[in-house]
Structure 1
Amino acid sequence: MSFDYLLSILKPMLEGAQATIILFIVAIIVSIPLGFLLTLAVRSSIKPLAWLANTYIYVMRGTPLLLQLLFIVFGLPLIPVIGEYLVIDRFVAACLGFILNYAAYFAEIFRGGLLAIDKGQYEASKVLGLSRWHTMRHIVLPQMFRIALPAVANESVTLVKDTALLYAVAVPELLHFAQTAVNRDFTIVPFLLAGIIYLLITLCLTLFFKWLERRLRFD
């Protein structure tokens, strides 16, 4: 296999990897705070709000991400009367699907982090006269994030790999260009190259989270 051939297939695959990375960044930036808001909603004393949040998390975690993507991209436009107004760019639709799905998973991760904090710390905060906001900001949230960080890191790596599902909704990404090259050239080299690119992305992500864990540990 010539070096020129590798360069010829690498360029479009890197373009596909760019779409993969953009989707990951958008999904992670939006789904993490949305997941935390869902966690607060689940713990809310307002029963209808807590019920809605729990139902949402159950539905999003209980159905396949691929089904959700297909529904958003191809199903919403078929809804009577309003369907024509729900036709959106496929990449934007895919971003929406990933955000809604991963927010539910991050909500459960954060809920576990909150449950792991000793109740005595809440009581100690009251004794010290700290408000609920100060208790949450200075005591609860830092500990929750430290506890949840390994699970967040693992879920983030999973998110990178799940971006391959864009292929199923006809959004050009890394796997799309790899499959195109395989079908055209009858060689598995593009698949191997795609695997290497995915590994490099997840390696960078893993190193970042390890650095973040060390930083928080010493802080």
Structure 2
Amino acid sequence: MRWILLLLVIAFAAQFAWQLATNPNLEWQTVLHWLFDPSVMQGLSVTLGLAVAAMLIGTAIGLLLAIARMSESTLARTLSGLYIWFFRGTPMLVQLIFWYNLATLFPTLSIGVPFGPTFLSWETNTVITPLTAAIVGLALNEAAYMAEVIRGGLLSVDPGQRETAQAFGMTRARALRRIIIPQAMRAIIPPTGNQFISLIKGTSLVSVIAMNDLLYSVQAIYNRTFEIIPLLLVAVLWYLLVTSILNIGQSRIEAYYGRGDRSRSAIATEKIAELNEEGVR
């Protein structure tokens, strides 16, 4: 029975692949013509650059938010929680449009003393370009999700590790940096990889603010040539290629952090002992 099901699956898959390959409406020759077009490659580079920049900034802010959510300060927990609530509760598309049109709310951006003198001032339209609006919108949205990813990873570490580190005289910051975060990486890496892959696809939203990403590039072409389906397939193929490479990289990183059969607590205990021998500052 299992072999029959397998043969049926192979037959349906072969039929589907044949339909795709022979369907004249897909215009594969047009797809191949535009696949490596300079404007498409430029859009792809913009997409990758936006994703990397937004992920780096979002992860850094997310780490601070996660630490704030776990702190003993009520103010820090409240502010962090409000940030995460707002950015996770509103669509990314709305946030991008908001940042792009920030000048309608604040014509100028200033640095100064609250209710006092202003030291520096800029016109908002000169600061908030499509590029800065895209990076700010993507990064701030990603920070809210990364905060929960990182917080979940930190909570997965045995609380006894923190207590052990403090017993050796380590400060909370040093214990977090040298003991807790390295152990939490095994729980943080998989969802972080998923977030980055989602972010790669989410960058397509910046096309609504005239950012020349991959989707915007193919749209600009098919607005001239009216070859809508082939150009959309060009974008789909590039998105699939990039996300497939990222999936392979994510698997390798997970294998790196998951190597060895010793328990995390045993590794952490050895690390604390080593740090103690070096002299805890």
- The TM-score, its normalising length taken from structure 1, stands at 0.91
* Structure (1/2) with the larger helix percentage: 1
Is 1:77 equivalent to 2:119 in the alignment?
no
RMSD across aligned C-alpha pairs, in angstroms? 2.1
| Contact persistence 1:164–1:175 (CA under 8 A) | yes
Match of 1:26 in 2: 53
Cα distance, 1:45 vs structure 2: 2.3
Counterpart position of 1:179: 219
Structure 1 position 108, deviation (Å): 0.7
CA deviation string 1:42-87 (max 9, x = no partner):
222222222111101110000000000000001x101155377222
Equivalent-residue separation in structure 1 for 2:243 and 2:46 (angstroms): 15
1:217 aligns with 2:251: no
Higher RCO (CA < 8 A, seq sep 6+): 1
Partner amino acid, structure 1, of 2:32: L
**Shift in Å, 1:207:** 1.4
State the Cα distance separating 1:113 from its structure 2 match.
Answer: 1.0
| Among 92, 95, 98, the residue aligned to 1:68 | 95
Query: Any idea what the Cα deviations from partners look like across 1:90-121, whole Å, max 9, x if unmatched?
Result: 11111011111101100011111111222222
Query: For 2:252, what is the secondary structure of its paired residue?
Result: helix
AA aligned to 1:50 is R
- CA shift in 2, pair 1:2/1:152, >3 Å: closer
Taking the aligned partners of 1:163 and 1:31, their CA distance within structure 2 comes to: 14
Aligned to 1:208: 249
Superposed CA deviations along residues 172-204 of structure 1, whole A, max 9, x for unmatched, are 111112223333333311111110000111112
Is 1:53 aligned with 2:80?
yes
If you compute each CA radius of gyration, which structure gives the higher value, 1 or 2? 2
| Mapped pair 1:164 → 2:199 | no
Q: 1:37 aligns with which of 40, 64, 68?
A: 64
- The whole-number CA distance in structure 2 between the counterparts of 1:197 and 1:218 is 32
Q: Distance in 2 between matches of 1:2 and 1:60?
A: 40
> In structure 2, the residue corresponding to 1:157 is in which secondary structure?
helix
Aligned equivalent of 2:195: 155
CA distance in 2, matches of 1:148, 1:49: 22
CA deviations over 1:8-55 (Å, ceiling 9, x no partner): 563111111111011011111111111101111222222222211110
Aligned residue among 78, 86, 104 for 2:124: 86
Alignment partners' CA distance in 2, 1:213 and 1:168: 35
Identity of matched residues, %: 33
Partner amino acid, structure 2, of 1:154: N
Quote the residue 1:192 is aligned against.
Answer: 233
Separation in structure 2 between the aligned mates of residue 133 and residue 58 of structure 1, nearest angstrom: 26
Structure 1 residue aligned with 2:33:
7
For residues 81 and 14 of structure 1, what CA distance do their matches in structure 2 show?
35
Give yes or no for the alignment of 1:134 onto 2:161: no
- Indicate conservation of the 8 Å contact 1:31/1:100, yes or no: yes
Given the two structures, how large is their TM-score scaled by the length of structure 2? 0.72
**Runs (5+) with no aligned partner, structure 1:** none
| Contiguous gaps of at least 5 residues in structure 2 | 1-26, 110-121, 261-281
